[in-house]
Chains A and B, each alone.
Chain A
Amino acid sequence: MSEDTLLSARGLGLRFGAVPALVDVDAELWPGEVLAVVGESGSGKTTLLNVLSGRLRPQAGVVWYRDPEGRLHDVHAMPLPALRALHRSDWGFVHQNPRENLRMGVSAGGNVGERLMAQGARHYGRIREEAIAWLRQVEIDADRVDDLPRSFSGGMLQRLQIARTLVTHPRLVFMDEPTGGLDVSVQARLLDLVRSLVARLGIAAVLVTHDLAVARLLAHRIVVMQRGRVVEAGLTDQVLDDPQHEYTQLLVSSVLQA
Chain B
Amino acid sequence: MNGPARTMLRTLSLDKTFTLHLRNGLRIPVLRNVALAVQAGECVALTGPSGAGKSTLLRALYGNYRADAGHIWVRHDDRMTDIAAAPPRTVVQVRAATLGYVSQFLRVVPRVAALDIVAEAARGPDPATARARAEALLLRLNIPRRLHALPPATFSGGEQQRVNLARGFIGGHPVLLLDEPTASLDAANRDIVIAMIREAKTRSVAIVGIFHDTTVRDAVADRSYEVTPLQEAA
Interface residues of A (CB under 8 A from B): 1, 30, 33, 188-189, 191-192, 195, 216-217, 220-221, 234-235, 237-238, 241-242, 244-246, 249-250, 253
Contacts and interface: CB of A to CB of B under 8 A. Distances in A.
A238 B89 contact: no
Contacts of B19: 244
Contacts of A221: 88-89, 92
A90 B20 CA distance: 43
B66 interface: yes
Main secondary structure of the interface of A (DSSP, over half): helix
Contacts of A33: 89, 92
A23 B66 CA distance: 26
Interface residues of B, number: 20
A33 B93 CA distance: 11
A235 B91 contact: yes
B65 A188 contact: no
The 6 closest A-B pairs by CB, nearest first: A246-B21, A188-B110, A235-B88, A242-B65, A188-B111, A192-B109
B107 to A, nearest CB: 8
A207 B93 CA distance: 20
B24 to A, nearest CB: 11
B66 A249 contact: no
A28 B161 CA distance: 36
Interface string B57-72: 0010001111000000
B22 interface: yes
Given A192-B111, A195-B109, A249-B22, A242 B89 contact: no
Given A217-B109, A249-B22, A241 B59 contact: yes
Contact of A237 (B18, B21, B64): B64
B64 A238 contact: yes
A108 to B, nearest CB: 24
14 contacts: A1-B93, A30-B89, A189-B111, A191-B109, A195-B109, A216-B107, A217-B109, A220-B89, A221-B89, A234-B66, A234-B88, A241-B64, A249-B22, A253-B22
